[in-house]
Amino acid sequence: MKTKSASLVKNSPLDLVLSPLDNFRLANLCGPLDENLRQIETALDVTVSRRGERFTVRGEAAPQAVQILEHFYARAEASLSVDDIQLGLIEIRNAPLRRISTPDSPVDGPQLVTRKAELHGRTPRQVEYLKYIQEHDITFGIGPAGTGKTYLAVASAVDAFERDLVERIVLTRPAVEAGERLGFLPGDLAQKVDPYLRPLYDALYDLMGFDRVTKLYEKGALEIAPLAFMRGRTLNHAFIILDEAQNTTPEQMKMFLTRIGIGAKAVVTGDPSQVDLPKGVKSGLKDAVEVLKDVRGIAITRFLKEDVVRHPLVARIVAAYENQQNSHAAH
């Protein structure tokens, strides 16, 4: 494969000719209706034009886009899905090309035993987070939406359960109202709080399968409940996850952390920028990070917008809101 630059002028279009020409590989690179190319355009804010194996790339990130096109062309022996492109873009953004995970050379960091064999940390902080979870009894994962805080915590819980390191998995989150009153929702208490717990169910179904999750739930090896149901309990030999912890009060956070029993491991996740507590009420997550920052045995991973592992637009949305907040703070 060779790249021919149109000129050396900054931001000028770059021409790329993929060779040797392989129409099957080329089709896999582009995806149905060139959808994979659209993902690259969105992620890098470039424009990609194609005529056969000849590409023209325009935009500030054109040199990086050319490298990425060559990289995915080399990997296109098999079909490349949108997921493959999006996850690959994240790895490329966070590591040199030679460090990108491949089937023959997996990325460094813990390899988890779940239904998804390829699951691993995609960014340096995700790898750090997984290591912290394995090495510490209590781990905090803090950062914006889409950084994998909850999903990787659930994956770590599934991994620990499959390896017989814990006897059960307990997932919980506060049922804090965000513009909608619980009392106005139909159904009994379980049906009212179920929407708040749905993200945890979704992660479990993805990592274990619906049938296995259902059987474990019936056997009591899996529990998903609102935070209020944790009061007065001691959880031994369990992997416990507190999600959406920014919506706990300091008292609730202390109550949760003191539920941890013998042989237990806990992960606390949350986004301090999305607090739904009443005005004037301090977030238990912010309070805990301040109080516990020097306590041995507790680890804290702070995710940034660069760690977003969702649609490429999510990282740019997070960045736009951060820029707005910084602008308001400056004035």
**Class assignment of domain 124-330?**
alpha beta
Nearest alpha-carbon partner for 92 in 59, 69, 60, 115: 69
Tell me the average pLDDT across 173-201.
63
Domain boundary assignment for the chain: 2-99, 124-330
Q: Which tokens sit at 4?
A: 């021919």
Q: Which tokens sit at 125?
A: 């902080």
Mean pLDDT, the chain, whole residue set: 84
pLDDT at 4: 44
Residue 155 has pLDDT above 70, yes or no: yes
Query: Alpha-carbon distance 130 to 297, whole Å?
Result: 15
Nearest alpha-carbon partner for 266 in 295, 287, 297: 297
Query: What confidence tier does 3 reach under pLDDT thresholds 50, 70, 90?
Result: very low
Q: Which tokens sit at 146?
A: 């889409």
Tell me the average pLDDT across 213-231.
90
Sequence-distant (≥ 6) Cβ neighbours of residue 322 within 8 angstroms: 305
Query: Alpha-carbon distance 312 to 263, whole Å?
Result: 39
Tell me the average pLDDT across 58-77.
90
pLDDT at 98: 37
Q: What is the DSSP letter of 270?
A: E
Domain 2-99 carries which CATH code?
Answer: 3.30.1370.10
pLDDT tens readout for residues 87-113: 788 777 765 543 444 444 445 667 788
Farthest CA pair distance, the chain: 70
Sign for the pseudo-dihedral over CA of 178, 181, 185, 190: positive
pTM (whole model) above 0.75:
no
Sequence-distant (≥ 6) Cβ neighbours of residue 31 within 8 angstroms: 37, 39, 80, 81, 82, 85
